[in-house]
Amino acid sequence: MSSEDKDFKGRCMYCNTNVGRDKVKTCGRCRLVRYCSKECQVASWKTHKLRCNQNLRESLASDPASNALNTALSKWINAWRDDLHNWAIRAMDLANSPPDRLATHCFVIEIERRPNPPSASQFFRMHGGGVETRASFIARLEEINEASEETVACVNERRGTDTAQIIILCEDLIRFLWFSLRDGGASLRNRDSAMSRALAEKWQQGMIGAIETGRPRASKTHLNGAAIKVIGPPPV
């Protein structure tokens, strides 16, 4: 990962493209979110307007602990972004699912700060997650009185049947990520069904283990295990 890719302040909040902090444009109202283009800013405004105000920035500034957690989470997401995408598409099992699965479901993970983390890469640990319908996730938020207008709007934001949504719950914070599938998801939907099912099995344990080690690329162990289950071990 290049130094530019590691800089989360150079990443567009809407399309996730990292164009570098000297090229992104910061929202002039809240000064908290960044966009790579006017088009992304306009597309994001439907949900961002629900929380875009100067008071939000002032609130973070007056609460150093929340601000520190918010910054740490942004850095962690930036480091794990590619692997979050990989885990999400494995868990979705697209080869054995209806064509509209990405439009109706979201990939949710729950993380928390680790007490006395041994390194920056191990700042968080994962304690749960799953693939849920958007309706069931909103119902879960309503049960704990966390279904704000902004949150519900973000959960219900659909970007077609070829864009996956990742929702990250971290203590009292919630983050949303979207990513479009290469080739419109055709290669994933046409993948061998047995392989797709094997990848979708036990993904949670594999992802928890990868995050525990603080090594994003540890997710390859899960991929290799699924391949061995379907096609057998390599010849000696």
Mean pLDDT (the chain) is 82
Q: pLDDT-based confidence at 6, cuts 50/70/90?
A: low
Residue 91 has pLDDT above 70, yes or no: yes
Confidence at 2, pLDDT banded by 50, 70, 90: very low
Q: Amino acid letter at 119?
A: S
Residue 5 has pLDDT above 70, yes or no: no
153 touches 211 (CB < 8 A)? no
pLDDT of residue 217 exceeding 70: no
Q: Is the pLDDT of residue 220 over 70?
A: no
Nearest CA to 102 among 43, 180, 176, 174? 180
**Six-digit token string for 67:** 């601000």
| Lateral strand order in the sheet of 173-180 | 124-133, 105-113, 163-170, 173-180
- Which residue from 176, 132, 164, 6 is spatially nearest to 79, judged by alpha carbons? 6
Interval 19-39 mean pLDDT: 82
The reported pLDDT for the residue numbered 169 is 92
pLDDT given for residue 144 in this prediction: 80
- Top mean-pLDDT range of 6-10, 55-59, 65-69: 65-69
pLDDT of residue 229: 67
21-38: average pLDDT: 81
Instruction: Name beta bridge partners: 179.
Output: 164
Q: What is the pTM of this model?
A: 0.77
pLDDT for 93 beyond 90 = yes
